[in-house]
Structure 1
């Protein structure tokens, strides 16, 4: 195993300088630091994790709490990309990742107990029931926490800008000439509430009235439920011309129901998704959707959590929002021949 003494000899510097470079101290020149790090990498130097833990009082291990209702784990189309970006960024900063399940060798532990057992320096929380006692216990503990897509007072949160995303999506559908716009939203979460509020605000601003029967609930990532809800909308006496789904995966259920009825997308009915998963861009026709910036969300969550771990007194505790981008696709039809009216006069 390569030692710091060997690196020092190779670089013609002191062992103390090598130690400072490898441990991130700033009282050596940038040129010397880069030389030492480059040489250490070329020589295959690996730090002793136990020694580093004793010296820094940190484990360089971050806990990841991720449990969605469907128990889809890392097959979750949205969060797997977020967490991959989180993992990549954390590893670049010298941290390892541990998933916290609340179980050790079959023994049930609370999330907080599991984090203490693993000795994590901090935890990122994504896609869980944030209001359970176990999550609340962890949030209130001394362990640094960053949440994704949920905001707690007094904690750092990194969220996708769902208000901006929904406004941009609805505005585009409106610009395509649609006034009969249905929205199948997800179950009752802070993300859903944000999107639903933005949906109603946007159609109000555009002067479009939405009947109550056009707005329905269906769980996220549930294609079967989305198909049933699509059927209910299509059987209305005055059906919508465009349906927005809670996510792209659910939209596939809607697509199946529409095609089983012999209808064509977008000629007979237009649809739009949300998330921007890879499959949305290879469907035929390509799905109109709001692409969330999963790479930026994961990277920012890792950076903010590590800043909180390493600089707890100076890290800003705030909510950080990441904008998405509209992928227009080809699943929303342009309705031609719509008479120009004052926005306040657009009624269904």
Structure 2
């Protein structure tokens, strides 16, 4: 079995440098860290996890809370990319991830109890009902916590710039000549609030008044919910010319409903989404949407959480906003040419 001394000789560095690189110390360059990690893999060196935990007072294990709110679960492309990127970045820093569950064998426990049972170093909340008392208990605990898609004062939050994203999307639709724009928004959250505020502000800036019946509350990433709400919108005495869905999965539901009602997209009804998942660009017509950088969201969440674990006194609990990109598909008709 390879030893840490074997690894130091292989890399031409001291045993101390090897130890620091494998244990995530910040005073080791990224190039040296990658060299040592690659060499460790090549010679089959694995540090003793128990010895390392005792020495460093860390388990190098991060708890991931993914309490799915839809039937898609981990197959949901949006979350799958985020989690894959998070895991990859965490692994480079020497951390494993474990999903937080309610049950260990036959024993039922809260999220916080599971974290304490596993002795996690920190927690990443990827998908959850953020108002759930168990989630709030976890956020308010002494664990370092990073969330996505929701902001807490007690945690670092990694978010796409939803205000700017909705501004770009809505203004593009208006520039295409639309004035009757309906918005199926998600359930109450900081993401929903910011998107709604941005939507209403852009409407006001363009002198457009949207009737109350054009606003519908749906469920994020639920095509079924969007289908039902689309029927109500399209059956209005004065239906909208464009429907914005809370995300691309929901936009698929809107498009399905429109087609069942004999409507063509975008000739009879325009549809826009949010997220920029790959399937949205495989449709005909391609979906107009806002692309979120899911790989960057996951990588940034891992970076911030590990910084909070390793350097809590120099890592502030901030909201981190990432840029988004407008994708101009063919699902929004240009009414200016009529």
What's the TM-score bracket when you normalise by the shorter of the two chains? Answer: over 0.9
For the pair 1:44 / 2:39, whether they are aligned, the reply is no
Tell me which residue corresponds to 1:237. Answer: 237
Q: Which runs of 5+ in 2 are unaligned?
A: none
What is the rounded CA distance, in whole Å, between the counterparts of 2:12 and 2:325 in structure 1?
51
Give the Å deviation of 1:157: 0.9
Deviations 1:50-89 (A, max 9, x none): 1111111111100001113225321223222211111111
Structure 1 pair 304/337, CA: closer, same or farther in 2 (3 Å)?
same
Structure 1 pair 13/185, CA: closer, same or farther in 2 (3 Å)?
closer
Give the Å deviation of 1:326: 0.8
Tell me which residue corresponds to 1:188. Answer: 188
Tell me which residue corresponds to 2:104. Answer: 104
Q: Superposition pairs for residues 203-214 of structure 1, below 5 Å?
A: 203-214=203-214
Tell me which residue corresponds to 1:278. Answer: 278
Q: 3-state SS of the aligned residue for 2:268? A: coil
Deviations 1:131-173 (A, max 9, x none): 2221122112111111111111132111121111111100000
Tell me which residue corresponds to 1:149. Answer: 149
What is the rounded CA distance, in whole Å, between the counterparts of 1:30 and 1:99 in structure 2?
28
Structure 1 pair 263/33, CA: closer, same or farther in 2 (3 Å)?
closer
Give the Å deviation of 1:296: 1.2
Give the Å deviation of 1:306: 0.1
Structure 1 pair 329/11, CA: closer, same or farther in 2 (3 Å)?
closer
Q: How many residues align?
A: 338
Structure 1 pair 115/273, CA: closer, same or farther in 2 (3 Å)?
same
What is the rounded CA distance, in whole Å, between the counterparts of 1:87 and 1:32 in structure 2?
21
Structure 1 pair 310/332, CA: closer, same or farther in 2 (3 Å)?
same
Tell me which residue corresponds to 1:256. Answer: 256
Q: Which runs of 5+ in 1 are unaligned?
A: 339-348
Structure 1 pair 176/61, CA: closer, same or farther in 2 (3 Å)?
same
Q: 3-state SS of the aligned residue for 2:141? A: coil
Give the Å deviation of 1:115: 0.4
Structure 1 pair 116/30, CA: closer, same or farther in 2 (3 Å)?
closer
Q: 3-state SS of the aligned residue for 1:243? A: strand
Deviations 1:227-269 (A, max 9, x none): 2221221222221111111111111111111112221111111
What is the rounded CA distance, in whole Å, between the counterparts of 1:30 and 1:206 in structure 2?
49
What is the rounded CA distance, in whole Å, between the counterparts of 1:28 and 1:84 in structure 2?
25
Q: 3-state SS of the aligned residue for 1:313? A: helix
Tell me which residue corresponds to 2:126. Answer: 126
Tell me which residue corresponds to 2:301. Answer: 301
Of 36-45 and 207-216, more deviation after overlay is shown by 36-45
What is the rounded CA distance, in whole Å, between the counterparts of 1:200 and 1:29 in structure 2?
47
Deviations 1:1-55 (A, max 9, x none): 1012333455666545544554455788999877655544432211111111111
Of 18-27 and 124-133, more deviation after overlay is shown by 18-27
Give the Å deviation of 1:297: 1.0
Q: 3-state SS of the aligned residue for 1:316? A: coil
Of 160-169 and 302-311, more deviation after overlay is shown by 160-169
Query: RMSD of aligned C-alpha atoms?
Result: 2.3
Structure 1 pair 234/208, CA: closer, same or farther in 2 (3 Å)?
same
TM-score normalised to structure 1 length: 0.90
Structure 1 pair 18/280, CA: closer, same or farther in 2 (3 Å)?
closer
Tell me which residue corresponds to 2:88. Answer: 88
Q: 3-state SS of the aligned residue for 1:78? A: helix
